[in-house]
């Protein structure tokens, strides 16, 4: 009976469209979760760096404090840095995990600061302030 009315052809025609809409919706949800969690990670990172922890231990601290994708990524970065991987490579690989402008900016800023030197906690504090202001708007 079902095949007599050829509903399956209509369903077959709309299935790719529904799949694309589903993927777009999922990526939007993931982007929103990132935008909700990343400022918290920056706040925790800023506090850890201000208390005198190294960047590796600060990343590890963020990873243990946040139970979400952002925390997992910080935990992975700290593990890679602890085994001796180049910080530039670790941050570049991490930036590919979160394809968002905010994270690219964060990773690029850390990479530049580590290669050129400077007060990392001040830079993180500035980024943190910018992110919270953007979140408030």
| Euclidean distance between CA atoms 110 and 106, whole angstroms | 6
Q: Which domains does the chain have, with CATH numbers?
A: 41-136 (1.20.81)
Contacts 24+ apart (CB under 8 A), 117-120: 120/49, 120/55
The closest alpha carbon to 57, from 78, 84, 80, belongs to 78
Answer yes or no: is pLDDT of 12 > 90. Answer: no
pTM of the complete model: 0.79
The closest alpha carbon to 110, from 64, 41, 51, belongs to 41
Instruction: List, as one string, the DSSP characters of 39-88.
Output: HHHHHHHHHHHHTT--HHHHHHHHHHH--SHHHHHHHHHHHHHHTT--HH
Helix, strand, coil shares of the chain, percent, nearest 5, are 85, 0, 15
Answer yes or no: is pLDDT of 65 > 70. Answer: yes
pLDDT tens, position by position, 88-103? 999 999 988 888 888 8
Point out the least confidently predicted range of 20-24, 43-47, 52-56, 132-136: 132-136
Q: Which residue has the tokens 């990132």?
A: 34
Answer yes or no: is pLDDT of 115 > 60. Answer: yes
């Amino acid at each position: 009976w079902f095949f007599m009315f050829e509903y399956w052809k209509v369903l077959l025609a709309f299935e790719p469209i529904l799949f694309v809409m589903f993927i777009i919706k999922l990526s939007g949800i993931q982007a929103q979760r990132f935008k909700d969690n990343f400022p918290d990670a920056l706040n925790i990172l800023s506090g850890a760096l201000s208390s005198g922890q190294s960047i590796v231990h600060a990343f590890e601290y963020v990873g243990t404090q946040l139970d979400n994708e952002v925390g997992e990524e910080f935990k992975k970065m700290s593990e890679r840095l602890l085994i001796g991987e180049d910080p530039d490579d670790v941050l570049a690989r991490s930036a590919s995990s979160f394809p968002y402008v905010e994270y690219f900016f964060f990773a690029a800023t850390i990479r530049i600061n580590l290669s050129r030197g400077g007060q990392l906690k001040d830079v993180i504090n500035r980024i943190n302030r910018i992110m919270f202001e953007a979140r408030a708007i």
